[in-house]
Every structure is written in C-alpha cells, then in structure tokens.
Chain A
Amino acid sequence: NAGVTQTPKFRVLKTGQSMTLLCAQDMNHEYMYWYRQDPGMGLRLIHYSVGEGTTAKGEVPDGYNVSRLKKQNFLLGLESAAPSQTSVYFCASSLSPYNEQFFGPGTRLTVL
C-alpha cells in the first residue's frame, strides 16, 4: 500500500518548456487535488477532481491543465513553463472534503 506517489521528485525546466507531473493513489479515493506551496503562501489549490473524468479549477489554475482519465491517477500539465511556476507541488487524495487528505511527498520544480 503505497498511498500517494508523485513522479518526478525534482525537475528543472527552461522557460517555455512543457512537462507533466503524475500523481497516483491506491486508496480508491474519489477526490484528488493538486497544490503548490510557496514561502509564506501556504498550500494553494491549483485544480482538483471529484471523481474519474472530472476536473475543476482551484485558487490558482492559470498556466496549468489537469486530467483524470483513471480514478487512481491525476495528471498536472504545464504547457509553457514560466519562472513564476517555480514551486513545490503536492498531490493529495481523500474520500471526501470532510475526510483527511493524504499527501504525496512533493515535486520540486524549478523554471529557469
């Protein structure tokens, strides 16, 4: 039982490059979330999903896209990376918004 895993753990991109972050959970959770953590800003919600095939925007969705084709996976895409997207990205999953969220270990992304 791995919980929530994230791939990759670290990545350095140049401005304008694209990449996809993969989140996988093995707890059969309906809800999945992508957050970014920046100093002094806490955890800000980028996009989330309430079930397979669904996605919704969070607080800071601009510049990101997501897909949830399978219940266990939630992908976060950056089509054209910008230095402002340098951050630590966390994925999480939960049974519902009222249940605890289980977080992955994070992906540290640097955009030069």
Chain B
Amino acid sequence: DQQVKQNSPSLSVQEGRISILNCDYTNSMFDYFLWYKKYPAEGPTFLISISSIKDKNEDGRFTVFLNKSAKHLSLHIVPSQPGDSAVYFCAASGTSYDKVIFGPGTSLSVIP
C-alpha cells in the first residue's frame, strides 16, 4: 500500500518549457513534503520542501505547490534545462512520524 504515489514513471519535456511532476499521498497525517533529485550512480540530493501551512514554495526555477484537500503536490520547473534530466522523488513526513516515506520516482528527460 503506497502512501506516496508518483503515477508518471517518466516525463519528456523540451528545453525551455515547463516540467510538471506530480505526487499524491494518502495519509492526511503527513504535513511536510520534500522533493529530491537523483542522477545516475549518485545519491539523491534535496531540492525543495513545503510544509502544510503553505500552499506554495519557490526556489529559483523550482516551485512546489500543495493542495491539501486533494492530497496532491506538484513540482514545477521553469524553464527546464537539459541538466534537469534526472529522477525526481517526492517524499512525505509528519509530526507523528520519525521517518520519511518516498514515492517511486519520476524520470525526467529534458530534450535540447
């Protein structure tokens, strides 16, 4: 039973356009969400996070949106660059949790 879902295993986007990666969660106790980026043969690295008291958080080209009622969050990358090609993991945690639950990941390819 996956508590954090990323229903698109892969996504292909043209350089300069917007990339939108989606994530859904089932547990309403989650109140903190993170996105990680992973290149092949490397460990994941933290990208951006959002707490449930916000509905948007922005960091440069990366924006995360949270819709608590729909239990849905999305990561927007604008403009997309070839160096953004990687696997993106959505992760969730909560006040009553001492660990983080990761989604299965979405592989993003940005085509030059």
**Chain A interface (Cβ < 8 Å from any Cβ of B):** 4, 31, 33, 35, 40-45, 48, 50, 56, 58, 90, 92, 97-98, 100-106
Contact = CB atoms under 8 A, between A and B. Distances in A.
A97 B104 contact: no
Contacts of A56: 98-99
Contact of A103 (B32, B45, B104): B45
A100 B34 contact: yes
Contact of A106 (B34, B43, B89): B43
Nearest to A6: B43
Contact of A43 (B9, B97, B102): B102
Contacts of B93: 97-98
Majority secondary structure of chain B interface residues (helix, strand, loop or mixed): loop
Nearest to A58: B99
Contacts of B74: none
Interface residues of B, number: 23
Interface in B81-112: 89, 93, 97-105
Nearest to A47: B99
A90 B43 contact: yes
Interface in B35-60: 36, 41-46, 49
A20 B9 CA distance: 32
B46 to A, nearest CB: 4
B89 A97 contact: no
